[in-house]
Structure 1
Amino acid sequence: MNSYKTISDAPSSPFLRKITLLSSMGVMMDGYTLTVFSYALLYLINVMSLKSYEISIMGISSIGGVLIGSFISGYIADIYGRRFIYIYDLFIVSIFIFLTGLATNYINFSILELIVGFGIGADYPVSSSIQAEFSPTKSRGRFMFFNIFSFSIGSLIFLGIAVPLVLFTGVNAWRYMYMIGAIFPILVLYSRKKIPESPYWVQHKFGNEAGNAARVNFEKSTGYRISALPDISPGKTRLKDIFKGKYGKYIIFISMAWFSYDIVSYGIWTYSPLIFSTEITSYYADLYVVFTGMAESIPVVVGFLIAIYYVDRIGRRLLLIIGFLGSFLVLVIFFFVNEYAVVGLLMTFSAFGFVHFFHNVGPSPITYTYPVEIFPTRIRGTAMGFATSISRLGSILAVFSFPIIDSLYGLKTIIIYFAVFEFIGLALTLKYAPETRNKALT
């Protein structure tokens, strides 16, 4: 049996890869849920005779659930343990996303989606903390990035499912889109029960003796011998501590950078199918829009592959700067092109595609990774939950403001609106972002 100093020094193992897969499912369902609404909306507008404010309420319902669920569960995970929530949150998601497919009006649809979002939100701080606390320091970024990449995997899975549904199920396609989504969380529930509690949390909560017992469980799961416990930062779990000292600066940075990113990202993801559908006049318009969504995912995948390759080589901060700066420049260029030319489907698609690329080189994976790396075990879940909830305020603002700005002022104003928030994210990164590459968790 190979021997290593601490858990963070041990290399990758089949056990870690299992944790990575299981911990990615909640984020994957977030991507699935956001994408399914974007395309279901093409049917729901007519099926439920929706007014604009009803569309907005439906659009923010699952996001609002994520906001509430992440804030509450992050603190609970620090008090009662990661595993306490990890086992059950996806059960909620599975039940209520299935029931969403049976909704008959915007009110019961929104209530069901709110509960779906609550389950997804509960998973964000828990799964990210578990992933970070079981990952090796030298490759932790790569594993964390895969977690958030599963958001795009969820979108791609939905798009693959959507093609036959659009072709063969007609006006009820949106119902099956939601119902099929219930299958994926169920697939991992049993396996999650077998994952042990985080040794970091056990040691912090119950001391070195319990930490040693957790270390032994880790050794049995991985086949690696660990000679020492991790160096855990002392102290109690208190919400106010995420605002104290250096942590106050960090929580403002990561929450507002994530907020800024989500305004642009959710605005594009939620409404680009509607934008593209207005540009396509064909009997198969809905199918064309789905394929456009698939094509739009290509820069997402490429950006993530670049980020995963470089994150543990050049660090988090530089990638975040590149991501915000690149997105900002793309939107500014698109704004000025719009001044002198008619911006059609191809130009809009290209601009959004480049924004997706730069987002996934930096802001998308790093805003997810930073909270669990910056904050100590005693407030890691709390900080991640708080940052996630603030980011979803940005998502809600995007879902509400995008159609209003578009109807009043047009796409050109939306472009500069998005560019402002990219610049805010860039400025915060340049001033406050630390480098966490090769730094051990505490």
Structure 2
Amino acid sequence: MDKNNISLEDAPLNSFHKKLTLYSSAAPFLDGYVLSIIGVVMLQMSNALQLTSLQEGLIAASSLIGMFMGGFIGGLFTDRLGRKTLYLLVLVALGVFSLAQFWVTTAWVLILLRLLLGIAIGADHPLATSLLAEFLPKKQRGSLLASLVMMWFVGAACAYIAGEFILQVGGDDAWRWALASAVVPAGLFLIMRIGTPESARWLLSKGRLAEADQVIKKVYGAAYSVNNLPEKSPEKDVSVWALFHSAYGKRIFFVTFFWTCSIIPQFAIYAFAPRILQTMGLTGDWASYGAVAITLMFVMGCFVAVKLVNPLGRRKLLLHSFLWSGLALLLLGLFPDGPAIMILVLFGGYAVFIGGAQVLQYVYPNELFPTEIRGSAVGLATSLSRIGAAVGTYLVPISLTTIGIGNTMLVAFGVSVVGFVVSLFMAPETRSMDLHLAGSLEH
């Protein structure tokens, strides 16, 4: 076979692609770990530092605020400086800030460190997924990018397991050891990432053809070259400002809106599942077991969506995800006092069906923008989506006490309807497109 005629988009998946997928999962894993570990140790930490309720809230929210800041900043830097250097530096920062939590003596220092941790995690989202998207063959790009979402739940589960174990054996300083424990996965991911090459597409966008050629030969073999990469020259006049107007402005609106509409109910339900279930009549162990079951259903929904993202296509998967998860929320809103088994089934149904929108949060942003602004686009969408996460998490307890559980679920249904309508009119199909064509304005 003449490899000179093979596009790298059609090259077979190799061991490098699989390893890079694992290395790039650091962002969602550490996102889930860092956000979850704080809840495990909050009681002991609050007693040790004599925290006020305001300080507790700020400590819990500071990482989300940091992710809002870090997403767009990280995207800008990864487009200007490349993917490779920051791919390592963010994990160095994560390790340092995690370890520094061990020695905190005041709430405000801890708030600052959690903010910096959030900035580092937020920065890793756009650069890691951009680098991965720019290497993956088109047949596997959607499913492997989508699979990263499940690592958030793996990180959260590891945080709960590690945190509870440390609290059992760590004594009065257990909370310090638990918070600092994030240095372990950060260090392991850093070691794995050492030696990762720069994105050949980014090198080409900067006119560095010889370096791009070397990377391609290293990853794919000596028989391949830049001639096998469809993306041979940078887009004309594409800058980060294109994200705020014209056709790329419409794309960032679509990505941000569907992402926000999917995570407002998702974050709220995940964070307050036991309280919501208790409000709907599930008491005692039922509420705890139900919350665990819902978490497992979220993972199952992501797994099923990963399998469907190619055969069903991006657009259909997104529309079906909003449609059926929204229906589950509608029924929960209409029958908040229904039998316990019905409540659990409907919550489980929501968790499974929202999986499509969840996994596409990593796929669409990387496919709909060219190499020159891909990192910035993913970073901006990541940052703006955190506003939705914060709003949803903040308003749920207020909503439960003011308008009741039924109306709260109906509001969540309304959010899903908005997501469906926006997707119906704006969601494109990029399933079988080369990356450079999906990111151009010609389709």
Cα separation, 2, equivalents of 1:398 and 1:191:
35
Q: Which residue of 1 aligns with 2:409?
A: 415
Question: 1:81-132: CA deviations, max 9, x gaps?
Answer: 0112111101212222333355455433322111111110010110010110
Residue 397 (structure 1) shift:
1.1
Q: Which residue of 1 aligns with 2:323?
A: 325
1:364-375 equivalences in 2 (<5 Å): 364-375=358-369
Residue 302 (structure 1) shift:
1.5
Cα separation, 2, equivalents of 1:355 and 1:42:
31
Moved more, 403-412 or 128-137: 403-412
Helix, strand or coil: the match of 1:235?
Answer: coil
Cα separation, 1, equivalents of 2:242 and 2:195:
32
Q: Is the 8 A contact 1:326 1:358 kept in 2?
A: yes
Q: Is the 8 A contact 1:38 1:273 kept in 2?
A: no
The one-letter code sitting in structure 1 at the alignment partner of 2:400 is: D
Q: 1:206 to 1:240 in 2, by over 3 A?
A: same
Cα separation, 2, equivalents of 1:348 and 1:171:
40
The one-letter code sitting in structure 2 at the alignment partner of 1:77 is: T
Q: 1:69 to 1:148 in 2, by over 3 A?
A: same
Q: 1:114 to 1:168 in 2, by over 3 A?
A: same
1:42-441 equivalences in 2 (<5 Å): 43=44, 52-100=53-101, 102-104=103-105, 106-165=107-166, 167-168=168-169, 174-220=175-221, 225-226=224-225, 227-231=227-231, 232-236=233-237, 238-272=239-273, 289=288, 294-338=292-336, 340-341=337-338, 350-360=345-355, 362-441=356-435
Q: 1:330 to 1:166 in 2, by over 3 A?
A: farther
The one-letter code sitting in structure 2 at the alignment partner of 1:228 is: N
For structure 2, which runs of at least 5 residues remain unmatched after alignment? 437-443
Q: Is the 8 A contact 2:92 2:186 kept in 1?
A: yes
Q: Is the 8 A contact 1:68 1:121 kept in 2?
A: yes
Residue 168 (structure 1) shift:
5.0
Cα separation, 1, equivalents of 2:293 and 2:399:
26
Helix, strand or coil: the match of 2:432?
Answer: coil
Question: 1:380-435: CA deviations, max 9, x gaps?
Answer: 11111111111011112123222322343343333223222211111111110001
Cα separation, 1, equivalents of 2:23 and 2:152:
13
Q: Is the 8 A contact 1:97 1:182 kept in 2?
A: yes
Cα separation, 2, equivalents of 1:337 and 1:183:
45
Cα separation, 2, equivalents of 1:354 and 1:370:
24
The one-letter code sitting in structure 2 at the alignment partner of 1:378 is: E
Q: Is the 8 A contact 1:156 1:294 kept in 2?
A: no
The one-letter code sitting in structure 2 at the alignment partner of 1:330 is: A
The one-letter code sitting in structure 1 at the alignment partner of 2:303 is: L
Moved more, 7-16 or 225-234: 225-234
Cα separation, 2, equivalents of 1:265 and 1:103:
32
Q: How many residues align?
A: 431
Percent identity for Structure 1 against Structure 2? 29
Helix, strand or coil: the match of 1:386?
Answer: helix
Q: Is the 8 A contact 1:38 1:269 kept in 2?
A: no
Residue 162 (structure 1) shift:
4.2
The normalised TM-score by structure 2 is: 0.88
Q: Is the 8 A contact 2:217 2:223 kept in 1?
A: no
The normalised TM-score by structure 1 is: 0.88
The one-letter code sitting in structure 2 at the alignment partner of 1:313 is: P
Q: 1:79 to 1:178 in 2, by over 3 A?
A: same
